[in-house]
């Protein structure tokens, strides 16, 4: 019985000891960080909270954020507190981005009275798609020949100087602007989020994109390479008027929620403020001399420093009359017929039409002079002349069936890539 009466005392002692240990732990944190220095940012800096990769640049005290970018489109009301905002856009519609000078008096005097360069990109938000971005964009380019993912609406823009759009970078535009003057840039996004969704049953949700802006100032060599600020926001792009319908649907859903549930969601804001992020992977910019209007020359745009494009592998096989007949039977529903195609690998290093002509001639033991032109069969069977730029945008390990057509002007032949 005496042993039983001592149990409560033992529990109290244990509980008291735990409290003292916990207080000591908190006291230890305070001693390590110094009086008044304890903050959530210090806790998040501990190794257990660090991620392998972060969207935010390394934090530093008294960091100056010289610019702010505001997308004039409302945020969704169906986003929970502490989550990143999501903004719905209509495909092809012009949206204003206000480029604001956020400096205080006397800050960053080296850019006062000078131009800065901003680069706007539309990129994937999902990590899975980021890994296959090149293939995704090449597939979009193939399905939408001649179209761009991102465009500038120049007539509506204000304060924008020397706008440029590289024809090989469909998701990027760039321009110069003076922070001391009013600058508003209008952009148009032409791809929709569902174009990059794996279609299986229909009705799948579209993938989110990011609109990112990186701003640079001139270095001593008058090249815009010194990074100043980067910010981005999350968006989804719908077919025309689809963003308005989605915004209305989200608003109606929120109105039906109980007051306690509504408190878990952030309100819809009339504009979207781009939040600070890490800059796009470092690139070297060359030949930034001003030129009127758009500039389509390759050397006016970023080229990855130290990056050598790997040689391109193309698989080809020669189409025969038997193969045509077998293919026709297959198209007519004769599943019993089958054709065995033997492909040959062609390795391109210069990525030019001349090199492709020489490699095809070498493969079939003919003179390159016997090949007049090389065409690629495009939509509705049209023949598109193969150029250096087209070859540079071929996907690696692309497969073609080669057909021939007698040239009209000489004894040579045209090669058709199917």
Which domain does 403 fall in, by range?
A: 310-325+340-415
Residue with tokens 């090389």: 374
- The CATH number of whichever domain residue 204 belongs to comes to 2.60.40.720
SS3 of residue 108 by DSSP: coil
Q: Are residues 217 and 108 in the same domain?
A: yes
Whole-number Å distance between alpha carbons of 79 and 254: 10
Could you tell me which residue, 205 or 247, shows the higher pLDDT?
A: 247
Report the domain count for the chain: 2
- Rounded to whole angstroms, the Cα distance separating 256 from 245 reads 17
The Cα 209–Cα 230 span in angstroms is 16
Residue 97 shares a structural domain with residue 233:
yes
Q: What is the pLDDT confidence band of residue 195, given thresholds at 50, 70 and 90?
A: confident
For residue 321, what is the domain's CATH number?
Answer: 3.10.20.90
- Asked, for residue 248, whether it belongs to a domain, the answer is yes
**Does residue 177 form part of some domain?**
yes
Cβ density class 5-34: b for 16+ within 10 Å, e for less: eeeeeeeeeeeeeeeeeeeeeeeeeeeeee
* 268 and 317 share one domain: no
The pLDDT value recorded for residue 88 is: 95
Is pLDDT of 349 > 50? yes
Q: Say yes or no to pLDDT of 334 above 60.
A: no
**Amino acid 40: pLDDT:** 40
Q: Is residue 314 assigned to a domain?
A: yes
213 located within any domain: yes
At which residue do the structure tokens 């032949």 appear? 413
- Token duo for residue 270: 């009339």
Inform me whether the pLDDT recorded for 57 exceeds 60.
no
DSSP notation for 277-288? -PPPSP-B----
**132 and 87 inside one domain:** yes
Q: What count of other Cβ atoms lies within 10 Å of the Cβ of residue 234?
A: 20
pLDDT at 73 over 60: yes
Neighbours of 142 (CB within 10 A): 14
Count of CB atoms situated within 10 Å of the CB of 108 = 15
pLDDT at 174 over 80: yes
pLDDT at 300 over 60: no
* Same domain for 255 and 163: yes
Q: Do 132 and 258 belong together in one domain?
A: yes
Does the pLDDT of residue 309 top 90, yes or no? Answer: no
- Do residues 223 and 110 share a domain? yes
User: 122 and 263: one domain?
Assistant: yes
The residue ranking higher by pLDDT, 47 or 399, is 399
* pTM as predicted: 0.55
Question: Is residue 247 located within the same domain as residue 141?
Answer: yes
Residue with tokens 């293939």: 135
User: Mean per-residue pLDDT for 216-237?
Assistant: 88
Residue 74 near residue 268 (C-beta atoms within 8 A): yes
Q: How many other CB atoms sit within 10 Å of the CB of residue 409?
A: 6
Is the pLDDT reported for residue 369 higher than 50?
A: yes
The pLDDT value recorded for residue 13 is 44
Residue 250 confidence (pLDDT) above 60 = yes
Give me the pLDDT at residue 213, please: 95
Q: For residues 38 and 70, is the Cβ–Cβ distance under 8 A?
A: no
Report yes or no on 161 lying in a domain: yes
Average pLDDT of the chain, as a whole number = 75
Residues 259, 183 share a domain: yes
The mean pLDDT value for 81-95 works out to 93
Candidates 398, 395, 417, 410; CA nearest to 136 is 395
Instruction: Provide the pLDDT confidence category of residue 137 given band limits of 50, 70 and 90.
Output: confident
Q: Is the residue at 286 inside a domain?
A: no
Is 31 contained in some domain? Answer: no
| Separation in Å, CA 226 to CA 65, 169, 278 | 14, 22, 14
Same domain, 98 and 198: yes
What does the pLDDT average to over 99-112?
80
Mean local confidence (pLDDT), 221-237: 89
Least confident of 69-78, 276-285, 356-365: 276-285
Q: Is residue 353 part of a domain?
A: yes
**DSSP label of 257:** S
261 vs 61, higher pLDDT: 261
Least confident of 125-129, 140-144, 151-155: 125-129
pLDDT recorded at residue 199:
57
What six digits make up the tokens of 202? 């229909």
Asked if 262 and 409 sit in the same domain, the reply is no
H or E element at residue 331: helix 321-331
Length of the chain: 418
């Amino acid at each position: 019985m005496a042993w039983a009466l001592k149990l409560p005392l033992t529990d109290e002692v244990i509980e008291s000891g735990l409290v003292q240990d916990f207080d000591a732990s908190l006291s230890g944190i305070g001693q390590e960080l110094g009086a008044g220095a304890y903050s959530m940012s210090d806790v998040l800096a501990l190794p257990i909270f660090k991620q392998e990769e972060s969207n935010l640049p390394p934090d530093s005290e008294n960091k100056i954020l010289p610019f702010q970018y505001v997308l004039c489109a409302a945020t969704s009301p169906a986003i929970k507190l502490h989550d990143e905002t999501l903004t719905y856009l209509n495909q092809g519609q012009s949206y204003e981005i206000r480029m604001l000078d956020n400096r205080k008096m006397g800050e960053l005097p080296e850019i006062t009275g000078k131009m800065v360069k901003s680069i706007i990109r539309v990129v994937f938000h999902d990590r899975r798609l980021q890994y296959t971005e090149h293939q995704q964009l090449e597939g979009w380019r193939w399905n939408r020949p001649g179209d761009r993912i991102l465009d500038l609406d120049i007539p509506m823009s204000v304060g924008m100087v020397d706008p440029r759009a590289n024809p090989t970078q469909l998701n990027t535009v760039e321009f110069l602007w003076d922070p001391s003057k009013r600058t508003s840039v209008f952009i148009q996004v032409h791809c929709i989020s569902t174009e990059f969704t794996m279609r299986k049953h229909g009705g799948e949700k579209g993938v989110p994109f990011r609109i990112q802006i990186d701003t640079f100032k001139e270095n001593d060599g008058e090249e815009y390479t010194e990074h100043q600020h980067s910010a981005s926001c999350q968006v989804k792009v719908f077919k025309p008027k689809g963003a308005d319908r989605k915004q209305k649907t989200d608003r109606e859903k929120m109105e039906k929620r109980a007051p306690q549930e509504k408190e878990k969601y952030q309100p819809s804001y009339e504009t979207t403020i781009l939040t600070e992020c890490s800059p796009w992977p470092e690139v070297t910019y060359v030949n930034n001399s001003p030129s009127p209007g758009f500039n389509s020359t390759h050397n006016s745009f970023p080229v990855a420093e130290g990056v050598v494009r790997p040689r391109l592998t193309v698989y080809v096989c020669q189409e025969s009359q038997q193969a045509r007949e077998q293919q026709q039977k297959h198209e007519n529903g004769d599943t019993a017929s089958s054709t065995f195609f033997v492909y040959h690998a062609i390795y391109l290093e210069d990525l030019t039409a001349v090199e492709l002509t020489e490699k095809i001639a070498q493969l079939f033991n003919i003179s390159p002079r016997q090949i007049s032109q090389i065409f690629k069969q495009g939509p509705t069977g049209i023949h598109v002349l193969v150029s250096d730029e087209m070859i540079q945008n071929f996907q690696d390990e692309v497969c073609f069936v080669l057909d021939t057509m007698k040239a009209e002007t000489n004894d040579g032949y045209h090669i058709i890539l199917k």
